[in-house]
Amino acid sequence: MSSPSVFWLGARPKTLPAAIAPVLVATAYAGRDWNPAHALAALIVAVSLQIAVNYSNDYSDGIRGTDRDRVGPTRLVASGLATAKSVKTAAYIAFAIAIIAGSFLALFTSLWLFLIGAFAIIAAWGYTGGERPYGYRGLGELSVFIFFGLVATIGTYFVQTESVDLTITLFAIAMGSIACCILLLNNIRDYSGDEVSGKRTLSVRIGIRVSTLLYSLLMIIALMIFLLTIEIPWNFLALLLFPILFLIRKEIAGGRLIRALELTGKFQMAYALALSLALIVSRG
């Protein structure tokens, strides 16, 4: 039987900023209207779904054999650290936790959240699972943008304020853009293996050069949203993020993609913290 530390490794904790950051930003923007219970439930949903996606990918890619030559983090099924059945069960448990927390939010805010949650779970499993996984057809970044950008950010704000406005939508675009960068860089790193195994990710479809340019464009979009939508003088905090971006670009140029991927996750948390601080101070 695999130890808990093995499943913690499979949960890929370094990817969790993609789930935590949108909740943090949306809660900060909610300001005095924030609801602690709903914010916590939204965080549980986001983190549980992220972990469920990670386990699902591990299971699906493992049984397909597309992880044999993987150069990134260790996969449980492909490495033999855990059985496919146990990893699949872990994914189901994570999904169940997300469903429980999401049901609480739906019952106390809007029943439409049940439908959105159902789509999120289908998308999470269908990324690499099922007969026609859309992650193998270059649609992974789009899904990440929708669910870990728009849905996570706008949804967290809505369950606390029961409203939506243009500003939170812009923040959602920023969060989605950075989350896309994490997956995009992951796919750039795995380009060779994915191409050989027939996994047609976006990077395989458009090439490494265009993928790298897209990465830069998405990062710039996120930073511009920060600079242009926060009340002066606190939008200057966005400038503190540029050195991290330059460091990431240096790592990418040097071919150190695993390091660049780690820094991108840290960039998203730094962005969320800086934006949240700017919001809290600016809005009083």
Say which range, 54-58, 165-169, 261-265, has the weakest mean pLDDT.
54-58
Is the pLDDT at 66 greater than 70? The verdict is no
CA distances from 262 to 18, 35, 100, 166, 207 (A): 12, 31, 31, 31, 22
- Which pLDDT score is estimated for 35? 95
pLDDT tens for each residue of 214-259: 999 999 999 999 998 876 678 888 989 999 999 999 999 898 998 9
- Which pLDDT score is estimated for 47? 96
pTM score above 0.85? yes
Is the pLDDT at 151 greater than 70? The verdict is yes
Contact 57, 188 (CB under 8 A): no
- Which pLDDT score is estimated for 18? 86
The stretch 114-135 carries a mean pLDDT of 86
Cβ within 8 Å of residue 9, ≥6 positions away: 73, 74, 76, 81
pLDDT tens for each residue of 22-43: 999 999 999 989 999 999 999 9
Domains of the chain with CATH codes: 4-283 (1.10.600)
- Which pLDDT score is estimated for 70? 57
The rounded mean pLDDT for the chain is 88
CA distances from 33 to 27, 44, 157 (A): 9, 20, 10
- Which pLDDT score is estimated for 67? 57
Cα-Cα-Cα-Cα dihedral of 105, 111, 112, 114, to 10°? Answer: 60
- Which pLDDT score is estimated for 93? 94
DSSP H helical ranges for 65-151: 76-79, 84-108, 112-126, 140-145
Percent residues over pLDDT 70 in the chain = 94
Closest CA relative to residue 235, chosen from 220, 225, 247: 225
- Which pLDDT score is estimated for 269? 95
- Our CA angle for 106, 110, 116, nearest 5°, is 70
Angstrom distance (rounded) from CA 261 to CA 185: 6
